[in-house]
Copies of this chain bind each other. A is one copy, B any other.
């Protein structure tokens, strides 16, 4: 059933403006009707492939004219149903906005179109000795990462997407274009509207351009791996590393199950016990050696075993490839299953307890789970899985998940550290921010009075 406003008139106006770039084939609509969580599919009425900001402006002008819902679509890697056009309407594919517009090395910044992926940006930056540090596991776009406030393994050192965006150019429903933020490294000029669009999941407008912060590629880098008797010990070690101001570039926890999955998926032979993968960097070889000295000591004092170091670029890349593919490794182990990955985030001191609590609950319920964590941030992922049609198991999974959320909120944490709310966490958000929701809705109404931007998400 198409959206009631997807009328012959609307279709005519869209086709007249966009011609071939408006697609209505089943295959294209299918591809734009789901996300990486693969939980359900809802087809848009049509998919519009934007190639320029003007395309976005005209699309949102027509969308407002016909009161048609619009779901921005970038790399399609989100996990919370953000991309599902639950009311039908248009999926607005912005992956064609793929130009790196301007790199200003002397200001440590670049201006890019929203569809550029972070690996592509980093490929273009590499020779200049700079990089963009936020690295979710998938090849996400910068506009998508801004829209979910994505982070990843490097957030412990460089912050989240929010911390690395200076300016945004956005198009509102109706077609108005706004420049938000500034290209300066800091500003106190009025309300932070830039910050509102970060994490807004396409519900306030479409990001067309971003000015992002770049960082010097660290000169001397090493990866340390240490195995622990249990997760609590590993988490305690991570806390010591943080406290010593060693400023790890990355600080990741992987449980035995995930390591086994990665070993199988990539043919590795990492010891199958709870492990910390840590990266350190320094401006000189001497200071790197000093940092590693302290880190080795802290690991040993915390019960770390089988310390391994990787210094060459290839060895280090292999470790982070394994980390980035952990999710795919788990999914490959369970063909035909559906997956749910949590992303609770709590104050550091509560992390070991919350991971243990989650693990205990899952075991009690007979669920097979695995854990990875951006443990320097207090952010951890439990991956649940079961056949999509196994209603009883999914009910058990959601019961465990619900208790985990309760515990995380009681500890002052958040129901989502990095994946966002989308469709699936609206109930959790209401528990976390109930009294603030009317104000979020008022903000939404200020930018999108017809409520056509990605309707049904977040709230």
Contact = CB atoms under 8 A, between A and B. Distances in A.
Contact of A191 (B159, B247, B347, B440): B440
Contacts of A425: 189
A155 B185 CA distance: 10
A417 interface: yes
Nearest to A183: B412
A254 B119 CA distance: 40
Contacts of A428: 189
B418 A184 contact: no
Interface string A243-254: 111110000000
Given A178-B439, A291-B283, A106 B199 contact: no
A377 B108 CA distance: 11
Contacts of A167: 412
A414 interface: yes
B348 A106 contact: yes
Interface in A182-205: 182-193, 195-196, 198-200, 204
Contact of A245 (B192, B196, B283, B350): B283
Given A188-B148, A245-B219, A440-B191, A104 B349 contact: yes
Nearest to A200: B191
Interface in A356-378: 377-378
A161 to B, nearest CB: 9
Given A109-B347, A189-B432, A348-B106, A196 B196 contact: yes
A26 interface: no
Most buried by B among A104, A191, A196, A419: A191
A286 interface: yes
A435 interface: yes
Given A436-B178, A446-B439, A184 B347 contact: yes
A288 B200 CA distance: 42
Interface residues of A, number: 98
A64 interface: no
A148 B148 CA distance: 26
B429 A190 contact: yes
A54 interface: no
Given A284-B290, A294-B284, A435-B176, A440 B193 contact: yes
B245 A178 contact: no
B190 A433 contact: yes
A192 B183 CA distance: 20
Interface string A90-128: 000000000000001011110000000000000000000
Contacts of A417: 184, 186-188
Contacts of A104: 347, 349
Contacts of A239: 106
A234 to B, nearest CB: 15
Contact of A184 (B196, B379, B440, B443): B379
A215 interface: yes
A180 interface: yes
A442 B449 CA distance: 12
A436 B108 contact: no
Contact of A185 (B193, B286, B378): B378
A396 interface: no
30 contacts: A106-B239, A106-B348, A107-B347, A149-B188, A155-B186, A159-B163, A163-B163, A178-B436, A182-B413, A182-B414, A183-B411, A183-B413, A184-B412, A186-B377, A188-B414, A188-B417, A188-B421, A189-B415, A189-B425, A191-B444, A192-B196, A193-B436, A195-B195, A211-B412, A219-B244, A283-B290, A286-B290, A287-B290, A439-B447, A443-B446
